[in-house]
Amino acid sequence: MTDQVRATAAVVDFITGARLQEMPPDAVALAKRCIIDGLGVMLAGSTTEGSTILHEYVRGGDASRDAHGSTVFAREPFRAGAASAALANGASGHAMDWDDTQLSTTADRIFGLLTHPTVPPLAAALAIGERQRVSGARVLEAFLTGFEVECKISEAIHPNHYKKGFHSSGTVGTFGAMAASAKLLGLDAQATAHALSIAASLAAGIRVNFGTMTKPLHVGRAAQNGVVAAELAAKGFTGGHDGLDGPWGFFQVFSFGGGFDADRIVGRLGDPYTIVSPGVSIKPYPCGVLGHPSMDAMRALVVAHDVKPEQIAAVRLRAGSNILNPLRYRIARSELEAKFCPAFMLSAIAIRRKAGIHEFTDEFVRSAPVQEMMARVETILDAEIEARGFEKIRSRVEVDLVDGRQLAQDADERYRGGPDRPFTREELHEKFTECAALVLPPPAMAETLAMVESLEQVADVGELVRVLAGERALEGAAGGTR
């Protein structure tokens, strides 16, 4: 059997054989951190306009809003079928572009090619896990299985996948959600292989939609389609043989004929777990991660030299194409565009020395001071930075002041939130609280953190969902039923 046929079998073997008790303790500990972060951004994202529209869509088209459904998180939570709940929660998890990011290992694997790995398997595992009343330990097992499958597929596929326009979090995220769902549904090897092929046909998402409501929809659909693929396979629905392999399999078709590197996936699943090495990046800012080191560099400059906005004559961002191509908006006109606009990212830091939920709003983006500052920012494709490769986020920020001084700061490749400078437990909790405060009262936030940090001890993951949904308030409003 050649490597080109073995990838599908390797993934099926890993999914069916993965066991929480055999997973490394550091992988389990990091998984809990990712779940805390994922739940936080999911709750915050549920308040956005795009998520509100999706909630209305799901409410209008899903008849499964009963005691056996799965919870859609929102200020006013409701139940839906598992696939629909995964759609809504998955889209919310990416709505603010604040969810974590997979890291690259080699210079030919563009940083942006790789996925936002947590939300698809987490949204799927919560939707099915709540309905099936599974334990927290089983959700952890399913989440880590899906996370690993997603990351290894993303790392293995030829970079053409991303370069030519696919959004990996939407396409490859489907496999992460499918793998998590397959674990919780207890699919055998044959059914898992069918689910893999079904998922390959459902995978979608193109980069033209960056900076719009449809980018988060990619992640929501990945979670939904992963659930659909596993649930159909559980009922006997079939897919083609070797869904990842051969001339018509996922790797060839979705890489425009570039295929994949077998040695990045065959024999590598769980060896090591990607969540451990090279690790995962938890975002400090709610925007494209490719701009984060530059934002930190800008902040270092304005703080160290006490630069006021009116003192800035011009700003130059020097970077490679791996940063400048995805961050494609010259001037942002909306909060969604701002997430992919270097000029806004640096302008927000220059004006407020921070860029969080309160800066990424249409009102602030469209304000006169911000629009004027963005006009002073220039992006430059730097040949020297370009030549160093794309596995790191490299850039340089230069600021010209009106008094003639010139300031410069190289972005630190050891950026905040990455494995080299990870969030402390307190910083992670602070981010979760900032996000969750848009939906939950403080007692529920504290209870959520405690439950996730001891998730193996939770007998029924529905208890965690109840806390996240503010179940007591719902029961009081509905006379004790839901």
Residue spans in the chain of domains classed CATH 1.10.4100.10: 3-281
Separation of CA 292 from chain center: 15
Residues whose CB is less than 8 angstroms from the CB of residue 22 and which lie 6 or more positions away in sequence, other chains included? none
Residue 412: its pLDDT value, please? Answer: 87
* φ/ψ bin of 165: left (φ > 0), alpha (ψ from -120 to 50), beta (otherwise): left
Residues of the chain with CATH 3.30.1330.120: 289-410
Q: In angstroms, what is the C-alpha Rg of the chain?
A: 22
DSSP string, 29-70: HHHHHHHHHHHHHHHHHTTSHHHHHHHHHHHHH----STTSE
- Cβ contact 226:86 at 8 Å: yes
User: What are the phi and psi torsion angles at 421 (to 5°)?
Assistant: -140, 65
Return averaged pLDDT per consecutive 10 residues of the chain, 482 residues in all: 69 98 98 98 97 96 68 96 97 97 80 83 98 98 98 95 94 98 98 98 96 96 98 98 94 96 96 95 93 96 97 97 92 96 98 95 98 98 92 92 97 88 96 96 97 98 96 43 36
Helix ranges, 96-163 (H): 119-132, 136-156, 160-163
Q: What is the CATH number of domain 3-281?
A: 1.10.4100.10
pLDDT reported for residue 25: 98
The answer to whether the beta carbons of residues 292 and 393 sit under 8 Å apart is: yes
Contact between 35 and 61 (Cβ < 8 Å): no
Given CATH 3.30.300.250, say whether it is the number of domain 289-410. Answer: no
Residues 6+ apart with CB under 8 A from 225: 174, 177, 178, 199, 202, 203, 204
Q: What is the pTM of this model?
A: 0.91
The alpha carbon dihedral of 476, 452, 47, 218 has a sign of negative
Distance, in Å, from the CA atom of 133 to the CA atom of 153, rounded to the nearest integer, reads 29
